[in-house]
Amino acid sequence: MTKPSKKIVVLGSTNTDMVIAGKRIPVPGETVSGGKFMMNPGGKGANQAVAVARLSAKRGQCTFIAKVGDDIFGRETAARMKKDGIAAHLVIDRKEQSGTALILVDAKGQNVISVALGANGTLSPKDVEPFRKDIEGAAALVMQLETPVETVLWAAKVAHDKGVTVILNPAPAGKLPKSLYPLVDWITPNETEAELLTGVKVSDAASAAKAVKVLKKRGVGHVVITMGTKGCWCGDCGKLFPALKVKAVDCVAAGDTFNGAFSVALAEGKSCAEAIDFAQKAAAIAVTRPGAQSSVPYRKEIVKLREQG
């Protein structure tokens, strides 16, 4: 009898997204009417956990650690995680509300997002300590930056000390402690995040390669920079993987879907090139659908896409 494979642990945020999809995004001081309102589950951590769960080879391969308020949004998060087969460790904050995000999406699928962190912003190492063994026994630890950086640093050290692969999606980008970089095996910024972290304006393959050098010099193991419709630059491969051409309707969870899929492929022992291919296919499907978690595809859809060539 084969032993069950190790789970991927996602530590991060969970939000409820309030979305208005309209023809265009208003400029400051302007009101644009005629949009359609939706309320969707989101948060970078939760989105990535859902992606890991749906894109894994079998059910029950994801553990999610987060903090929520003692409110309906927190309870709904628990119910959604259970539906996707995710082992959710949700710490309850009795003082803060669950995280929320206001999102405006235009007709081309581009978006602007404003986030109220709520309970996400109080997730501490003390909150995560009871779940240390989950992290230490994981195939990989996936994190973002919608929770306190000191908690990210603490969890990265716990994972690193046990040889667990640490994957950091540095979003939203901010200044990181120097001690964090050497603990990160894979970092996956987009163009804007790469520039904020390195000071290098990333616009093409050459500038992406420069940003990679900066991050590697700081101690990061491997770097993948997502560049929207331009594709994805892999520091290890030294090449740009072109993006799949699809008609985008909503890019809200594209990056989260990519990161979840990429983590799954790496945990399965795939090469970085194979992992990028898998992740790009997942993200390409996600942008053709509205919403955050509702847009995340299932593994069988990636298999079908591959069969179609």
Strand order in the sheet with 186-187: 87-93, 62-69, 8-11, 140-143, 165-168, 186-187, 222-226, 232-234, 239-241
CA distance between the termini of the chain: 35
Cα 85 to its chain centre, rounded Å, is 18
The 3-state DSSP class for residue 32 equals coil
- Range list of H helices, 144-253: 149-161, 191-198, 205-217
Short-list 62, 56, 66, 52, CA closest to 11:
66
Residues with catalytic roles:
256
Cβ atoms of 165 and 139 closer than 8 Å: yes
Sequence-ordered list of residues with C-beta below 8 angstroms from that of 61, at least 6 positions apart, any chain: 5, 7, 8, 52, 53, 264
> Between 272-286 and 44-55, two packed helices, what is the crossing angle to 10 degrees?
110
Give me the residues paired with residue 66 across strands: 90
